[in-house]
């Protein structure tokens, strides 16, 4: 009996097939890549120049006690956000994953799984290290760190990001909720730090601008942790079950397809669907009112079933207060609108499903606007209440506003966020049956590029009166405009 | 004595895609208590006819009337009378099987929702799956859920596009029995089908589209 093939042999065979189909030699490909290299160098140097200018400008403008404290704390908050995002993305994709083809052909073969997954572990770890380090370097520069401190901060943050990926791999192999708990814990700590910053109870950290032995110690600890967790992850690679490797591999082409059409709402659909697929069963809630109110009642059931859809806007309320504390003035209007819009997306899953599925809409004996209005009732209450809760921040940040006007502005911003969410959720995907226009990406439908601005366009329209007119008049005009836009969106086909 | 007008009346229906007439000069009557089947090879226009009748697609020409009223799928009355199960049916990812059926029945203001829904769940054999989310159902179970959604609500005309798809033998037997009961209750049934056994068991009039 012949011995089973090794991963190296199978990979060599696949490489041989691929090279047989190559149309360019390596030299020709490098020759063609000069534009990409040139563009990367040029854009990179422009980016670095912008960052250095921003560093100088923020150093000159940030003079108040609140601003300097925030500037000192910001790198640490950012590092926390980076780790939370790293954990979230790693959990979303696995982090170890295999393509459907490899899942079918190689995972079922008697080959060593760690050899198969090692390149993926190395690639994912390198990506986390490089991206995490680069972003930390940017933030360290903006915070006014010295060159040595920037390097130490960037490398230690990068090592922690690497550690995050490798430890999530260990959890993927062994199972259990550790990665999920860690994500919420880190996010909760970052949120608590922001709250403390807003309430001015956060002690100002010792100045970190100069490189010190503490930085060296941090570097050593982060490095040891990263290497140790990477070794542990490599040892655990053969233990990862196939059913934990293939979902991430299926998710990648789905998200790639959605990104290729610049359809962000489709990405939302994919992620929501994946989340509920993982849950598989729920405790059914029966009963409730009749008619359109049945849809409202189901949204209330959703809130109970998925409390994070309310927890996220509730936690995000701290963002406008942080903006007010940093003294961003009129910019707070855009910050509140944008935060409400992004935090409110999770509330409108019913509206999204009914908008994209005509078959489901046909099952309901109601006018289209009635169905949409019913699915907006709960999000409207949450977002208007959310907007009203930002009134003290508006009162503090925008000069000359009475409390009454501040509440009007805050309510208008809550309604603006709701309208932007409705625009985002009810928009049709790009229609490839319509005339196409020529572009460097090939022929694309005219609505393709506009789909990226969807939601943000309405938000800008509704925030503009608040920026251009007096707060009281601006709030009134914004509310009237919101009413017009919402009426159109509720009735559109 | 003049005969009762048909429940569904289609006259001169035409649907053109580019230079091709998929359906042209198509007439159809479906009377209350009767079942009509559209048959024919793939691409003969069965689903296109159903889509035009239910308002999922807009015909190039022709009229579609339900009980003497022009069919406009935006009208709540039409949606109340027309129960449609086509291939574009999808579900809420976060509501369980029984919650979907409850929602449809409650939206239609059905009396005694739980009794009606439980009976239909029993009929379609989805009681063990009642707490499951639709994404975890097999394709056959999703088809049963789609069919169940049409049976938990009031209706006058049932429009089904290849309802036999993905159903096993027992499911097909149940469907034939159920559609016969619908006819006996005075409802109209219009279906497109490739299943000769189902057509023979249920249908009064077969329209072959080629």
Tokens of residue A238, six digits: 């053969």
Contacts of A368 in chain B (CB under 8 A): 74
A468, A444 contact by CB (below 8 A): no
In Å, how far are A1, A122, A311, B51, B55 from B10, measured between CA atoms? Answer: 69, 64, 52, 13, 13
A175: left (phi over 0), alpha (psi -120 to 50) or beta: left
The reply to whether A246 falls in a domain is no
Q: What is the spatial distance between Cα B97 and Cα B75, in angstroms, rounded to a whole number?
A: 27
Classify residue B88 as exposed, middle or buried by CB count within 10 Å of its CB (0-12, 13-18, 19+).
middle
Measured between CA atoms, the residue of chain A closest to residue B129 is: A281
B74 neighbourhood in chain A, CB within 8 Å: 367-368
Among partner residues B90, B107, B132, which is closest to A364 by beta-carbon distance? B107
Is residue A142, in this structure, part of any structural domain at all?
A: yes
Cα B182 to Cα B193: distance, rounded to the nearest angstrom: 17
- B16 near B60, Cβ under 8 Å? yes
**Secondary structure class of A122 (helix, strand, coil):** helix
* Token pair for A353: 């499903």
The helix (H) or strand (E) run that includes residue A458 is helix A456-468
CA angle B20, B25, B26 (to 5 degrees): 105
Q: Is A272 found in the same domain as A230? A: no
Q: What is the distance between the alpha carbons of residues B160 and B192, in angstroms, rounded to a whole number? A: 7
Identify the pLDDT of residue A152: 87
The pLDDT assigned to A464 comes to: 93
What pLDDT sits at residue A314?
A: 93
pLDDT score at A403: 87
pLDDT, chain B, mean: 90
Of B56, B84, B107, the CB nearest to A294: B107
Q: Residue A185: its pLDDT value, please?
A: 84
Task: Report the residue from B76, B89, B107 with minimal CB separation from A359.
Answer: B89
Q: How many domains does chain A have?
A: 2
Separation in Å, CA of A371 to nearest CA in chain B: 10
* Domain residue limits at A395: 264-428+447-491
Report, as ranges of residue numbers, the positions in chain A whose pLDDT lies below 50: none
pLDDT at A35: 78
Backbone CA torsion sign across A339, A345, A351, A354: positive
Residue A289 is assigned to a structural domain of this protein: yes
Does residue A137 belong to any structural domain of this protein?
A: yes
Q: pLDDT at position B53, please?
A: 92
- DSSP type of residue B64: E
A284 & A188 share domain: no
Residue A90 sits in the same domain as residue A141: yes
B110 contact residues in A (CB cutoff 8 A): 290
Same domain? A60 vs A198:
yes
- Say if A273 is an interface residue toward chain B (CB within 8 Å): yes
Dihedral pair phi/psi, residue B93, rounded to 5°: -70, -20
A185, A320: one domain: no
| Domain ranges, ordered by start, for chain B | 8-88+146-208
Task: Indicate yes or no: CB of B106 within 8 angstroms of CB of A288.
Answer: yes
Pairing of strands B8-17, B20-30: antiparallel
- Tell whether A236 and A115 lie within a shared domain: yes
CB A168 within 8 A of CB A87: yes
What is the ipTM, given to two decimal places? Answer: 0.88
Instruction: Report yes or no: B68 and B156 within 8 Å, Cβ to Cβ.
Output: no
Per-residue pLDDT, A4: 64
B86, B161 contact by CB (below 8 A): yes
pLDDT at A215: 77
DSSP state string for A125-167: HHHHHHHHHHHHHHHHHHTT--HHHHHHHHHHHHHHHHHHHHH
Check if B130 contacts A (Cβ < 8 Å).
yes
Contact A288 B102 (CB under 8 A): yes
* A325 and A194 co-located in one domain: no
Q: What is the pLDDT of residue B3?
A: 66
- Does any domain span residue A441? no
Distance separating alpha carbons of residues B159 and B176, to the nearest angstrom: 14
Fold that domain B8-88+146-208 belongs to in CATH: Rossmann fold (3.40.50)
Does B91 contact chain A (CB < 8 Å)?
Answer: yes
* Residue whose pair of structure tokens reads 């089947």 in the numeric block: B37
- Residue A435 included in any domain: no
Identity of the residue in B54, B74, B90 whose CB atom sits nearest the CB atom of A360? B90
* Maximal C-alpha separation, chain B: 55
Nearest Cα of chain A lies from the Cα of B189 at a distance, in angstroms, of: 17
Say yes or no: A237 and A268 in one domain: no
Residues sharing a CB contact under 8 Å with residue B199, sequence separation 6 or more, in sequence order: B37, B39, B193, B206
Q: What is d(CA A437, CA A451) in angstroms, rounded to the nearest whole number?
A: 15
Asked if B136's CB is within 8 angstroms of A280's CB, the reply is yes
Distance CA A238, CA A232 (A): 12
Contact between A359 and B104 using a beta-carbon 8 Å cutoff: no
pLDDT at A388: 95
Task: Using a CB–CB cutoff of 8 Å, tell me whether A364 touches chain B.
Answer: yes
Q: Where are the beta strands (DSSP E) in A238-355?
A: none
Indicate if A473 and A374 belong to the same structural domain. yes
- Residue range B135-157: mean pLDDT, rounded: 92
Whether residue A35 is contained in a domain is answered as: yes
CB A323 within 8 A of CB A449: no
- B93 contacts A359? CB cut-off 8 A: no
Residue A129 sits in the same domain as residue A225: yes
Q: What is the DSSP string of B168-190?
A: -HHHHHHHHHHHHHHHHTT-EEE
pLDDT for the residue B192: 92
More confident residue, B89 or A64: B89
Q: Is A492 near chain B, with CB under 8 Å?
A: no
A302/B104 CB distance under 8 A: no
Verify that A198 and A274 share a domain, yes or no.
Answer: no
What pLDDT does residue A32 have?
75
Residues in B touching A285 (Cβ below 8 Å): 99
A309 secondary structure, DSSP code: H
Given a cut of 70, whether residue B105 has pLDDT beyond it is: yes
**In chain B, which residues have their Cβ closer than 8 Å to the Cβ of A291?**
106-107, 109
In this prediction, residue B30 has a pLDDT band, given cuts at 50, 70 and 90, of: very high
Q: Which pLDDT does position B36 carry in this prediction?
A: 93
Chain B residues 49-88 with a CB less than 8 Å from chain A: 54-56, 73-74, 76-77, 79-80, 82, 84, 86, 88
Distances A38 to A31, A42, A52, B7 between C-alpha atoms, Å: 12, 6, 21, 70
């Amino acid at each position: 009996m012949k011995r089973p093939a090794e991963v190296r042999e199978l990979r060599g065979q696949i490489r041989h097939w691929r090279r047989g189909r190559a149309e360019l030699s390596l030299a020709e490909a490098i020759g063609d890549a000069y534009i990409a290299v040139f563009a990367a160098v040029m854009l990179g140097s422009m980016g670095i120049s912008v960052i250095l200018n921003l560093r100088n400008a923020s150093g000159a403008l940030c003079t108040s006690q609140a601003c300097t404290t925030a500037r000192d704390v910001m790198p640490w908050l950012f590092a926390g956000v980076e780790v939370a995002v790293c954990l979230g993305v790693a959990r979303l994709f696995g982090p170890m994953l295999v393509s459907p083809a490899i899942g079918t052909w190689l995972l079922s073969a008697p080959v060593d799984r760690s050899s198969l997954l090692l390149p993926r572990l190395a690639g994912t770890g390198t990506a986390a290290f490089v991206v995490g380090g680069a972003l930390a370097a940017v933030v360290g520069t903006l915070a006014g760190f010295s060159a040595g401190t920037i390097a130490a901060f960037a490398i230690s943050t990068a090592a922690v990001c690497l550690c995050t990926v490798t430890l999530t791999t260990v959890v993927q192999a062994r199972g259990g909720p550790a990665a999920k708990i860690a994500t919420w814990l880190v996010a909760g700590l970052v949120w608590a730090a922001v709250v403390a910053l807003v309430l001015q109870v956060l002690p100002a950290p010792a100045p970190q601008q100069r490189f010190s032995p503490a930085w060296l110690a941090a570097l050593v600890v982060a490095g040891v942790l990263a290497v140790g967790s990477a070794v542990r992850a490599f040892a655990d690679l053969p233990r990862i079950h196939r059913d934990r490797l293939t979902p991430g591999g299926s998710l990648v082409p789905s998200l790639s397809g959605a990104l290729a059409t610049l359809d962000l709402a489709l990405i939302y659909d994919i992620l929501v669907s994946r989340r509920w697929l993982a849950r598989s069963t729920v405790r059914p809630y029966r009963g409730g009112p009749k008619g359109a109110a049945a849809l409202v009642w189901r949204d209330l059931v959703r809130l109970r079933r998925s409390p994070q859809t309310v927890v996220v806007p509730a936690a995000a309320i701290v963002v406008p207060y942080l903006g007010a504390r940093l003294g961003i003035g009129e910019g707070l209007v855009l910050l509140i609108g944008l935060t409400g819009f992004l935090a409110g997306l999770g509330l409108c899953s019913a509206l999204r499903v009914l908008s994209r599925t005509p078959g489901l809409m046909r099952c309901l004996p109601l006018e289209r606007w009635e169905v949409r209005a019913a699915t907006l009732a709960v999000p409207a209450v949450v977002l208007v209440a959310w907007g009203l809760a930002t009134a003290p921040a508006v009162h503090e940040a925008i000069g000359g506003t009475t409390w009454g006007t501040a509440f009007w502005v805050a309510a208008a911003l809550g309604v603006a966020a709701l309208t932007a969410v409705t625009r985002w959720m009810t928009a049709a995907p790009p229609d490839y049956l319509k005339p196409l226009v020529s572009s460097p990406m090939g022929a694309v439908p005219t609505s393709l590029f506009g789909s990226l601005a969807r939601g943000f366009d309405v938000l800008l329209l509704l925030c503009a009166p608040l920026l251009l007119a007096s707060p009281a008049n601006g709030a009134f005009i914004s509310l009237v405009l919101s009413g017009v836009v919402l009426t159109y969106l509720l009735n559109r086909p | 004595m003049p005969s009762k007008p048909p429940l569904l009346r289609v006259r001169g229906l035409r649907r053109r895609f580019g230079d091709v007439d998929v359906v042209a000069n198509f007439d159809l009557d479906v009377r209350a208590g009767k079942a009509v089947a559209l048959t024919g090879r793939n691409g003969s226009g069965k689903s296109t006819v159903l889509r035009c009748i239910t308002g999922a697609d807009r015909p190039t020409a022709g009229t579609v009337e339900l009980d003497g009223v022009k069919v406009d799928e935006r009208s709540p009355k039409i949606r109340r009378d027309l129960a449609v199960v086509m291939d574009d049916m999808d579900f809420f990812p976060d509501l369980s099987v029984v919650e979907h059926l409850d929602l449809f029945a409650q939206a239609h203001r059905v009396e005694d929702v739980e009794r009606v829904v439980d009976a239909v769940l029993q009929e379609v054999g989805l009681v063990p799956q009642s707490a499951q989310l639709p994404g975890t159902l097999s394709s056959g179970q999703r088809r049963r859920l789609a069919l169940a959604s049409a049976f938990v609500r009031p209706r006058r005309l049932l429009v089904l596009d290849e309802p036999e798809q993905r159903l096993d033998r027992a499911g097909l037997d149940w469907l034939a029995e159920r559609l016969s009961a619908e006819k006996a209750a005075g409802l109209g049934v219009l279906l497109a089908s490739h299943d000769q056994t189902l057509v023979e068991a249920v249908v009064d009039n077969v329209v072959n589209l080629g």
